[in-house]
Structure 1
């Protein structure tokens, strides 16, 4: 597999996976990023999803770097 394709796929999977985990965690905590309006619950949910996506992306990149070292 082409290295750039692998990089893009792992970044996408990490970002979307992290965002989904944060979305469901936020729903459990009472935050809903898809609620109508811009209340505290909505803004908190949006922040959580953004942080989760960024964290998932960083995890994917660290995993890829670690896998590259082990080759």
Structure 2
């Protein structure tokens, strides 16, 4: 029988939420910057061609990577939250 873990305090979960939000934005901005450096402008004037789609993809990957980084930090520091 496995031992039940107590729920994390609200303050710790708030840290997780803030860290995920901040790193999501930072990652998305980093993805945007990398896209611009590679000539993949997500908001280019030509509509939605391949270059714009790959620019959007980089923004999404950057934002998602930021969220995952925040989650890994929280898990290392406090353990995995229940549920």
Length-normalised TM-score, structure 1:
0.86
Residue equivalent to 2:6: none
Q: How many residue pairs end up in the alignment? A: 69
SS of aligned partner of 1:15: helix
Which aligned pairs between 1:2-21 and structure 2 lie closer than 5 A?
A: 2-21=11-30
Which of 47, 61, 64 is the equivalent residue of 2:74?
64
Structure 1 residue runs of 4 or more that deviate by more than 3 Å after TM superposition? none
Partners in 1 of 2:16 and 2:76 — Cα distance? 13
Gaps of 5+ in 2: 1-9
Deviations 1:14-71 (A, max 9, x none): 11111111110111011001113101111110011001111111011101111225xx
